[in-house]
């Protein structure tokens, strides 16, 4: 079946001397993996290796056999040319972190246009803004809306956040209940826009604690999710 779709590059892996295996989150078919034969040695082909940098937005035409094997891309071109995402050191570090998160978080070969539109929108937002120190935290929180475990805020005025159950409560009922200044700051992000969340004041320690808590939250709610290796680089950049 020939499919035309917008797509977001999630991950790419060198295979042999000249091939790439790339994972794309497509608008029409969810997460798909493709084998790009000879792309690392080809200088004249229409499909270039540079198109497959992390989180690049593409337009593709692909052949899908839907048998759980690697699919083939017939044509590809950038959907939008980023201005800063892959050239600004800070933003490229954020992009690398986001791609690691998405690699672990998105598994299904199912259409999820709402999630695709969210990712496309926030990537363009990141490309066009410079005040981004809280971006990765806001991104993770809003991502939970599309993955099905956004925190229940009906008791947000209470002291503890129960990471296992995803709710706020007045007492500690298990080892995954956490409290403290970082939880009060976490509450400030809930229900805010990206623009508003950039104004939330966080110290180095609090920002690290909020991020660490969120990654544990993801591990509890997504089977097989692993903490991104790039977290140390991200913490260093924003501190």
Question: Domain limits of the chain?
Answer: 2-78, 89-238
234: buried, middle or exposed (CB in 10 Å: 19+, 13-18, 0-12)? buried
In this prediction, residue 46 has a pLDDT band, given cuts at 50, 70 and 90, of confident
pLDDT in tens, 218-230: 999 999 999 998 8
pLDDT in tens, 19-39: 999 999 999 999 999 999 988
- Quote the pLDDT of residue 183: 98
Helix then strand count (H, E) for the chain reads 7, 8
**Distance in angstroms (rounded) separating the CA atoms of residues 34 and 69:** 9
66 conformational bin, left if phi > 0, alpha if psi -120 to 50, beta if neither: left
Average pLDDT over residues 82-108: 93
Q: Is the per-residue pLDDT at 144 higher than 90?
A: yes
Domain at 2-78, CATH homologous superfamily: Nucleic acid-binding proteins (2.40.50.140)
Average pLDDT over residues 174-202: 95
In this prediction, residue 110 has a pLDDT band, given cuts at 50, 70 and 90, of confident
**Distance in angstroms (rounded) separating the CA atoms of residues 127 and 83:** 6
Q: Is the per-residue pLDDT at 163 higher than 90?
A: yes
Owner of token pair 């994972």: 23
Could you tell me which CATH number the domain at 89-238 has?
Answer: 1.20.1440.120
- Quote the pLDDT of residue 233: 82
All residues at 6 or more sequence positions from 44 whose CB lies less than 8 Å from its CB, including other chains: none
- Whether the CB-CB separation of 9 and 53 falls below 8 Å is answered with yes
Backbone dihedral angles phi then psi of residue 137, each to the nearest 5 degrees = -70, -50
**Distance in angstroms (rounded) separating the CA atoms of residues 120 and 124:** 6
**Distance in angstroms (rounded) separating the CA atoms of residues 227 and 216:** 8
Name the strand (E) or helix (H) holding 20.
strand 19-26
- Quote the pLDDT of residue 69: 79
Owner of token pair 């959907």: 79
- Quote the pLDDT of residue 107: 81
Average pLDDT over residues 117-139: 96
pTM of the model: 0.93
């Amino acid at each position: 079946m020939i499919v035309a779709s917008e797509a977001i590059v999630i991950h790419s892996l060198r295979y042999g001397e000249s091939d790439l295996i790339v994972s794309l989150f497509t608008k029409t078919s969810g997460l798909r993996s493709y084998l790009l034969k000879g792309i690392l040695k080809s200088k004249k082909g229409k499909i270039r290796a540079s198109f497959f940098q992390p989180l690049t937005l593409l337009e593709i035409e692909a052949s899908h056999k839907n048998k759980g094997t690697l699919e083939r891309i017939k044509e590809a071109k950038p959907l939008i040319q980023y201005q800063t995402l892959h050239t600004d050191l800070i933003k490229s570090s954020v992009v690398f972190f986001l791609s690691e998160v998405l690699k672990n978080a998105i598994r299904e070969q199912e259409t999820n246009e709402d999630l695709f539109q969210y990712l496309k929108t926030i990537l363009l937002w990141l490309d066009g803004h410079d005040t981004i120190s809280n971006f990765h935290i806001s991104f993770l929180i809003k991502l939970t809306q599309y993955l099905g475990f956004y925190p229940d805020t009906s008791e947000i005025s209470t002291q503890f956040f129960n990471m296992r159950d995803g709710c706020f409560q007045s007492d500690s009922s298990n080892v995954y209940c956490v409290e403290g200044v970082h939880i009060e700051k976490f509450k400030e992000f809930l229900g805010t826009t990206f623009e508003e969340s950039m104004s939330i004041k966080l110290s180095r320690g609090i920002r690290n604690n909020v991020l660490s808590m969120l990654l544990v939250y993801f591990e509890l709610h997504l089977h097989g999710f692993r903490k991104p290796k790039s977290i140390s680089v991200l913490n260093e950049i924003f501190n």
